[in-house]
Amino acid sequence: MSENIFDPHVKDIAWCPGCGNFPIRKIMLEMLEELELDPVNTVMVSGIGQAAKSPQYIQANYFNGLHGRALPPATAMKAANPELTVIVESGDGDMYGEGGNHFLHAIRRNPDITAVVHNNMIYGLTKGQASPTTSKGMKTPVQINGVFLEPFNPLAAAIALDASFVARANALDQDKTKEIIKKAVQHKGFALVDVFQICVSFNKVNTAKWFKEHTYYLDEQHDTSDRSAAFSRAIEQDKLPLGIFYEQKNKPVFEESFPLYQKDKSPLFQRTLNKEALEKIAAEKTE
Amino acid sequence: MNRKQLVDEVSIVFSGAAGQGIQSIEMILTKLLKREGYHVFSTKEFMSRIRGGINSTCLRVSSERVNAPMEKADLFLPLIQDTTLHLQDKITEHTVIIGEQEVVQFDDMVDIPFSEIAKRCGNKIYSSSVAVGVIAGILDVSDSTIEKTFTKHFKGKDEKIIQENIQAAKEGIKESAKIQEHLEVDIEKDASVQDEMLISGTEAVAMGAVSANVRYVASYPMSPATGVLVKLAGWSEQTDCIIEQVEDEITVVNMALGAWYAGARAFVTTSGGGLALMSEGISLSGITEIPFVVHVAQRPGPGTGLPTRTEQGDLHLVLYSGHGDFPRIIYAPGTVEEAFYLTNRAFDLADRFQVPVFILTDQYFVDSLCNTPVWDLNKIVSENHFTETAQDYKRYAITESGVSPRGIPGFGKGLVKVDSDEHDEEGLITENLNETRKAMVEKRFFRKFNLVRKEVIEPDCFGNKDNELLVVSWGSTGNAVKHAFQLLESPPAGMHFSQVWPLPENIEDILSRYKRIAVVENNASAQFATLLKGYAGVPVAHNILKFTGLPFSQEEIAREIQSIQ
Ligand SMILES: Cc1ncc(C[n+]2csc(CCOP(=O)(O)OP(=O)(O)O)c2C)c(N)n1
Ligand code: SF4
């Protein structure tokens, strides 16, 4: 295989050996290359956490912002320049906890961006506290008697909000996951891919073996345009389905809803001051 | 009541419940009087409710520019009986009260049956047009001005309705003879006013943003800052600007930074509570060196405070919001003109220096209305300061000036890597403390701060410069202090700051020329005085403070100055 142009060949990656972030990184690099994206027009956006370090290890533009706050800048940069491919990569705590409100509203806004959530069901960077997706009963140094809150179900929430693309994957199934993420990136509209990921240091419950035993793939019978069916699948508990749950092909996207792009497709940075508009506004004030 | 003659100016106060139409009286009257060649200034105070309560508008009509609140009313026109008495200070023995006997009762009131006249003209709801007519009559406004103004104001309405309103106003003019028995007004008109704009603080800030080529506005409604969002939204189809009302102020700041990162000039408008939520994002602007421009219209806090009232209590919030060390710029306009040009400049400096810039106003300021010369568009700047990147582009290149050329994704061959973690020149996370961290702080804090300080706007000096007493103001209180000086027999020295951070390098020299310094501010803790003391090391002898939620009037400031002279 030839050199992957998205690989910056970083010597020191800040993840623990055996961490599930490595296979996701490999998938992302291959996906970017196979979709023939141009690094110059691609922006990787993330919050803060172990997963959120991913953009550091990809040779593209990136915006590594604040904990929980990846979606707002990603939405805005796509709206400011629709020619960019904008991909968000962040952790479950980042996206569903600190960034929960943005998650809901990004779905409502439906910008044409992709969110790949590294779901290790734990807070990695802050050393093993519960995340919104941690299973009930799991003990941590903070949840000393075990988690008793209902875990957040990102897929069910997204489908309930009529998201335009909702999928779940397992980082350890490289090929299948790569295909799902490719479809998500190619999908026009907000695409959520929740990726199960192992955390070898802090999550001793949801291990590679556990994920293997507790997941299965949606088969061809599953109709991805059927929202009710997608929702029923999303709330399954015993075994967790993987694959594309729900997809709407023609949902209007955020950036295209503004009249300014209907008149002129050029990105905002290329547009100079419209002095006439300003003069007109000033003239109205002299009346 | 004695017959009294006013030749320079008249001050008129209207009061009424929310929804009773005092806002439309204000709108038509100010347009009408400006067209007639009078200088106008109006300021309002209102309750945080949509209907009922008691609100008031104070309108000054003058032969010259008089843009400051006045305590006393020459004319008082209550549409309802004030039960809260908060307008009591406005009424003196010289005030002529005009009202409808059936609605309000005051001693010595000139009774004008507004509703009856309105009904005669076609509809009871034309009462406000009758009231407009009464004032127009006192001020000798011509019929043609009435006709033109009403026709324009009611554009789109049924012709019959327009004509009936004009009739109502003309009937009002006839009634004004009753008032002239008590008060004669003979103010010189100034034809040049006719070509000027009639503009609010809100509009000045919003137009400043338009003049800077703003292309992305993200905001969350919050009084008293919402007006700017509404204005920009109203113009957005002409200006080709994205307007997005988002889920919270945390989104606001992070979206704005995303837009700037991608090369679009973004703008946000908020009040103290919203800015408090933006604090982490402002810090993100600091470390990522992404420009950020925010308008903060202050209202009294803490907490929800008084949502529709005024205060200058967020200077320290704006000065210190965001953790860590990074330079910032804070403007505090005192006139609509300053608000326009400083907002324009805010974008330029944010873009050139890649720092957050704040435009600090307040409720009193944004909700005031006055005539002002049409902006000089030769004085505005709107050039972008990003560069086309080369393949080996480094976003955080260490430079002599402190500013690293800002690339944007998709423009050039390079990659634009921004990071909120400490980073190296390329934008990669680093914990190289003794070299990289140190070099980055020296670049983005120390060297850049020196650059920013070279662009400081000097304070405006007025009054008697040789006086031993210096009265300092900042932001919206500037005009009230200037007008107060005119009421004093021997005015002291005055100094108004429209930029409150950074302060001029020679601030200590400037201030230490005076024996005593008094600082006028609309807050309880003397925030600007504290800054002057801490930064310039000069003692402040007197704090002239007001924190009732209302702005200073010129008379009030004059009294305060007299007491320390
Ligand atoms: C405002 C704020 N609060 C808290 C933190 C500390 N913090 C950093 S990452 C993180 C959670 C990380 O968990 P997750 O997002 O699931 O990512 P992971 O590290 O597991 O990949 C927290 C709480 C922070 N950086 N900013
Ligand atoms: S803490 Fe967990 S998620 Fe983070 S790098 Fe280590 S194994 Fe991976």
Answer whether B250 sits within 8 Å of A72, measured CB to CB.
yes
At B264, list the tokens: 């679009």
Across the strands, what pairs with B412?
Answer: B389
* Average pLDDT taken over every residue of chain A: 97
Instruction: Count the neighbouring beta carbons within 10 Å of the beta carbon of residue A175.
Output: 9
Residue of B407, B406, B412 whose CA lies nearest to B444: B406
Which residues 6+ apart lie within 8 Å of B192 measured at CB? none
Nearest CB among B251, B375, B415 relative to A282 is that of B375
B515 pLDDT above the threshold of 80: yes
- Residue B428 confidence (pLDDT): 97
Q: Could you tell me if B298 and B313 are in contact, meaning their C-beta atoms sit under 8 angstroms apart?
A: yes
Amino acid A138: pLDDT: 96
| Each residue's pLDDT tens digit, B336-378 | 999 999 999 999 999 999 999 999 999 999 999 999 999 999 9
At A102-114, the pLDDT tens digits run 999 999 999 999 9
- Most B CBs within 10 A among A48, A258, A278, hence the mutation to make, goes to A278
The dihedral over CA atoms of B394, A15, A10, B254, expressed in degrees to the nearest 10, equals -20
Residue B170 has what pLDDT?
Answer: 96
Q: Which of A211-215, B3-7, B558-562 has the lowest mean pLDDT?
A: B3-7
Distances (CA, A) of B237 to A277, B212, B242, B245, B534: 10, 16, 9, 16, 47
User: What is the rounded average pLDDT of the residues B125-151?
Assistant: 95
Mean pLDDT over A156-167 rounds to: 98
Q: Under an 8 A CB cutoff, do A273 and B429 touch?
A: no
Question: Could you write out the DSSP letters of every residue in A173-220?
Answer: -HHHHHHHHHHHHHSSS-EEEEEE---TTT-SSS-HHHHHHTEEE--T
Report d(CA A104, CA B516) in Å as an integer. 57
Complete DSSP assignment for A23-60: HHHHHHHHHHHHTT--GGGEEEEE-SSSGGGGGGGSSS
pLDDT tens-place string over residues B228-248: 999 999 999 999 999 999 999
d(Cα A91, Cα A174) in Å, to the nearest integer?
Answer: 19
Cβ–Cβ < 8 Å for B403, B354: yes
Return the amino acid letter for A66. Answer: L
**pTM beyond 0.90, yes or no:** yes
Residue of B nearest to A43 (CA): B409
pLDDT at B91: 87
Phi, psi of B375 (to 5 degrees): -55, 145
Over residues B390-406, the mean pLDDT reads 98
pLDDT grade, residue B3 (50/70/90)? Answer: low
Query: Could you give the percent of chain B with pLDDT greater than 70?
Result: 99
Widest CA span of chain B, in angstroms? 84
AA identity, residue A18:
G
Cα–Cα distance measured from residue B92 to residue B90, given in angstroms and rounded to the nearest whole number: 7
Query: Is B255 in Cβ contact with A53 (below 8 Å)?
Result: no
The secondary structure of B28-49, three-state, reads: HHHHHHHHHCCEEEEEEECCCC
Q: Which two tokens stand for residue B305?
A: 């405070």
Of A185, A177, A200, A191, which is closest to residue A251 (Cα–Cα)? A191
| Overall size of chain B counted in residues | 565
- Does the C-beta of A126 come closer than 6 Å to ligand 1? yes
Any A CB within 8 A of B282 CB = no
The count of residues in chain A is: 287
Q: Is the pLDDT of residue A266 over 60?
A: yes
DSSP state of B561: H
Q: How far away, in angstroms, is A129 Cα from ligand 2 center?
A: 12
Instruction: Please indicate whether, in this complex, the C-beta atoms of B215 and A278 are within 8 angstroms of each other.
Output: no
Cβ separation of A83 and B410 shorter than 8 Å?
yes
Q: Which residues in chain B are contacts of A83 at CB distance < 8 A?
A: 410
Backbone phi and psi for residue B252, each to the nearest 5 degrees, phi listed first: -50, -55
Q: Does A123 contact ligand 1 (Cβ within 6 A)?
A: yes
pLDDT given for residue B377 in this prediction? 95
> Which residues on A lie below 8 Å from B281 (Cβ)?
66, 69
pLDDT at site A287: 86
> Residue B5: in which H helix or E strand, if any?
strand B4-6
For B294-327, the DSSP string reads EEEEE---STT--TTS---TTHHHHHH-SSS---
The pLDDT tens digits of the residues spanning B431-482 come to: 999 999 999 999 999 999 999 999 999 999 999 999 999 999 999 999 999 9
CA B416 centroid distance within chain: 37
Query: What pLDDT does B426 receive?
Result: 97
Nearest to A105 among B212, B246, B417 (CB): B246
**CB pair distance less than 8 Å for A104 and B428:** no
> Which residue in B has a C-alpha nearest to residue A40's C-alpha?
B410
DSSP B334: S
Q: Which residues of B touch A267 (CB under 8 A)?
A: 262-264, 410
Q: Are strands A191-196 and B542-545 parallel, antiparallel or unpaired?
A: unpaired
CB distance B413–A40 less than 8 Å? yes
For the stretch B27-86, pLDDT in tens is 999 999 999 999 999 999 888 888 888 889 999 999 999 999 999 999 999 988 876 666
Contacts with A, B 350-389, CB within 8 Å? 374-375, 377, 382, 384, 386
User: How far apart, in whole angstroms, are the C-alpha atoms of residue B264 and residue A79?
Assistant: 9
This model of the complex carries an ipTM of: 0.97
Q: Does the Cβ of A201 fall within 6 Å of ligand 1?
A: no
Structure tokens at B253: 């700041």
Non-local CB neighbours of B348 within 8 Å, separated by 6+ positions: B212, B381, B382, B383
- Reply yes or no on whether the pLDDT at A99 is more than 90: yes
Residues of B in contact with A66 (CB under 8 A): 254, 280-281, 284, 420
The predicted structure's pLDDT at residue B2: 55
Nearest 10 degrees: CA dihedral of B92, B97, B101, B106?
0
